Chains A and B, each alone.
Chain A
Amino acid sequence: MFAFIVSRVLQAVPVMLAVALISFAMFAYVGDPVAIMLGQDFTEAQRAALVSDLGLDQPFFVQFLRFIGNAAQGEFGLSYRLSRPVAELIGERAPATLELAFCAAIIALVAGVAMGVYTGLYRNSWLSRLLLTVSLIGVSLPPFLVGILLILVFSVWLGWLPSFGRGEVVQLGWWSTGFLTWSGIKALILPSVTLGLFQLTLIMRLVRAEMLEVLRTDYIKFARARGLGNRAVHFGHALRNTLVPVITIAGLQLGGIIAFAIVTETVFQWPGMGLLFIQSVSAADIPVMAAYLVLIALVFVTINLVVDLLYYAVDPRLRIGRAVARGR
């Protein structure tokens, strides 16, 4: 078990380095931070001084190695755009993104499973057909369009929900939460629906397909033969067996939700990490972009690692396979 974890962590290192290198190389094309920091009026001397202050006159690999060295110590420098430490900026924005991702994941999971079970059990009802049709729209519409449509309906026409921002937040230590105020909760609804919609439809379709599959298997027939009621068969036997792949997919998608929150955050002016990233791109704020990309890579690597470990714990065949291979 320990050896397994160590080998996985070691595999993650080159992945992280590759992400850092690619993102760092990309920055050569996003624009010149010096031009943006200097503004409209400057002298050549001022320009040269700033370039050397930022270390941009050094060769690419020197810059890269310095970046890796600092990053390994959790030191990402000062944002060019906001003149504040990058780690502090990201720490400030992370709660917004994590709360949004959490809500989106819960919505996707709860509604997705419920709708998946329903459409799996009542294949021919009109509601199932409606849900399937609507889910097709959910899969095919890009999130920014969904977001704008929701804003149009619920903010502009009905005036029920805010169109942007987080509402009032409460500060719990360094964590800022929107769960404790009414306006914070209202502000969460539209963005989390927008963000969770794709995952919701995916989970619904997955659960439905699995349910149909499982309901045809022998042990369901045996369960019925034993005289068990619909409720026990559907939820005690069928649903439980569909959930293993669902949990895997949902877990892997969680990383995606955090990473793809960029679009949703931009549409709703949600002050999270994704919005910070987009604003940094427009200002060629390299330290923030680099830190964000490395962080997202870390999230993906960690989630993959956890999923691998869960497999190891859940599926006995993996352990047996290893034991057999060792000749025992």
Chain B
Amino acid sequence: MVHWVRAAALVAVLGAMPAVGAMAQTVRWAASGDPNTMDPHSQNVGTVTMVLQQIYDPLIHRDRDLSLTPGLATAWRQVEPSRWRFTLRQGVRFHDGQGFGPEDVVFSITRALQPTSNFGIYVDTIAKVEAVDAQTVDIITKAPDPILPNKLASVFMMSKAWSEANNAARPQNTRAREEMVTTRNTNGTGAYRLATREPDVRTVLVRNPAWWGWQVEGNTGNVAEIVFRPIASDATRIAALLSGEVDFVLDPPLQDLNRLRAAPGVKVVEGPEVRTIFLAFDTAREELLYSDVKGRNPFRDLRVRQALYQAIDIQAIHRTTMRGQSVVTGTLIPEQVNGYAKSEDVRLPFDAARARALLAEAGYPQGFSVTLDCPNNRYINDEQICQNIAAMWSRAGVRTAVKAQPLAPFFAQIQRDDTSVYLLGWGVPTLDALYSFQSLLATRNGAQGDGIWNYGGYSNPRMDALIQRMKVESGEARKATIREALQLYREDLPHIPLHHQMIPWAMRSTVTIPHMANNQPYFRWAMAGAQ
């Protein structure tokens, strides 16, 4: 028996021999969610992007500090107010060996513009894409778009020939009954290519030695193979890291962080995320849906919103619930976002007495009751934050019930405008303030992006005018407009800002991956092997 086992072990070792050399540079990576698709223009969510951005390149890359750096385009400039010119990198090849050229840019952007794409927000201002010559592409926008390069940093380039040959010229079509080739196959230009794709089980990426970027300074990664496995259960994910079956966990649960820090061979890397947590009020209805105040809406009164703001002891939430891992804020956007102004990042002070006085002044000396809608598995400690706030508001006289739900029913509910006050966390993938203002604070008017996440129905013509100006202005004028909008945000209080989220990553101490504020690991900078 023993002999048999030894023999089997020997066979296993011999079988694995060719991989031994590469073993040191394999990173086994786990996260709670699996990408739904391998199509680069279908689902605009972090779990998809975190894998695809290893495989596909955009025209413009992001550097470690999220600033823009050349990708498949080596240079870009605004030749006319509505015309951006991109110079393409030469000699780039897709993983299937075909060359990359201007027709691929035209094709990819057109594909992202299809109604079945979720990437509309990045390309919605584009009217036309023109191939000028073999290394130049012009993008003509409907109106001047100062932040087009920021947006194009999120649009991946596909091969026109490959996509058309595989009948994948449109992103995922729900009307079709067949699976599309791009659901499980890729053909990018990026640092890694897809070797195995088993949805919900395993996704294996191998290094593309021919990637153009390995010649570029700074791309010092040595990882030869990435094995991604989704592990949904928090406890199991952490057990796998502790037992050495996994090298890198993108989303370790907060309650385990102290244990992970103390564990030998494991490190926790923390950094800010570009995501702001806030509460938003229903300021549109004449009477709240979930309150005992009849005939009027207390949240339409600025004094009530201010009272609830000042009733929140944000430092207590920061210290206890968030265990110090949050950046308390008084504004809509974190500092990595273009347009951020330190002078506008000021909170109304916590003052329970003032809160009660304001409520009495507004005509609610006895307070009132309200239901706070809250997700319980979307943001870090989301439900606990709501519980804390409910307790603080109740102390000030506003009797608050928390309705915490998983994200699917929560989002379904608030998207029907079926809420009186809710907690939301907002990430800014374009890293520009317009994205937040447009989605969260513009009056909903059916236009792409305007007010689509404004479920409190906040509407102020002055804010709308500022947002329209943000869309077309550039330079110092635009900066001033954003600052004015941030000022108005502080005066109007459509939201109560709480904090920017901090995101911890956990990894074996043999692995080094730079922490990114967009919560995306970039393996082109990852080092694995001996410490």
- A interface list, Cβ under 8 A from B: 29-32, 35-46, 49-50, 53-54, 77-78, 80-85, 88, 148, 151-152, 155-156, 159, 162-166, 182, 266-269, 271, 275-276, 278-279, 281-284
Contacts and interface: CB of A to CB of B under 8 A. Distances in A.
A26 B497 CA distance: 36
A53 B412 contact: no
A209 B237 CA distance: 41
Contacts, number: 154
Given A46-B120, A156-B239, A163-B239, A78 B174 contact: yes
Given A45-B115, A83-B42, A283-B408, 16 more contacts: A32-B415, A35-B411, A36-B408, A40-B44, A41-B439, A43-B446, A82-B183, A156-B239, A159-B244, A165-B229, A182-B12, A269-B230, A271-B200, A279-B34, A279-B232, A282-B406
Contact of A36 (B174, B202, B233, B411): B411
A36 to B, nearest CB: 6
B408 A30 contact: yes
Nearest to B174: A53
B229 to A, nearest CB: 7
A42 B243 contact: no
A222 B39 CA distance: 75
A41 B121 contact: yes
B201 interface: yes
A78 B173 CA distance: 10
Nearest to B121: A41
Contacts of A49: 115
A83 B235 contact: no
Contacts of B183: 82-84
- Pick the most buried of B174, B411, B447: most chain A CB atoms within 10 A of its CB: B174
Interface stretch (B65-73, B209-217, B448-456, B466-474): B448-456
A54 B174 contact: yes
11 contacts: A31-B410, A31-B412, A32-B411, A82-B36, A82-B183, A84-B199, A85-B179, A164-B237, A271-B201, A281-B408, A284-B408
B175 interface: yes
Contacts of B448: 43
Nearest to B171: A83
B442 interface: no
Given A29-B409, A30-B409, A32-B415, A275 B177 contact: no
A32 B120 contact: no
Contacts of A38: 118
Contacts of A45: 115, 446
A42 B120 contact: yes
Nearest to A148: B235
B177 A77 contact: yes
B45 interface: yes
Contacts of A46: 115, 120
B231 interface: yes
A151 to B, nearest CB: 5
B179 A78 contact: yes
B180 interface: yes
Contacts of A29: 409
Given A30-B409, A162-B245, A163-B236, A42 B37 contact: no
A90 to B, nearest CB: 12
A122 to B, nearest CB: 30
B36 A83 contact: yes
B159 interface: no
B177 A78 contact: yes
B199 A82 contact: yes
A88 B184 CA distance: 14
B22 interface: no
Contacts of B240: 155, 163-164
B17 interface: no
Contacts of A78: 174, 176-177, 179
A148 to B, nearest CB: 5
Given A43-B120, A155-B245, A283-B408, A266 B233 contact: yes
A283 B199 CA distance: 15
B199 A43 contact: no
Contact of B120 (A41, A77, A88, A164): A41
- Pick the most buried of A37, A54, A164, A271: most chain B CB atoms within 10 A of its CB: A164
A82 B412 contact: no
B242 interface: yes
B127 interface: no
A151 B239 contact: yes
A279 B415 contact: no
B43 interface: yes
B179 A151 contact: no
Contacts of B453: 40
Nearest to B229: A165
B280 to A, nearest CB: 15
Interface in B19-58: 34, 36-37, 39, 42-45
B239 A39 contact: no
Interface in B398-418: 406-412, 415
A187 B409 CA distance: 35
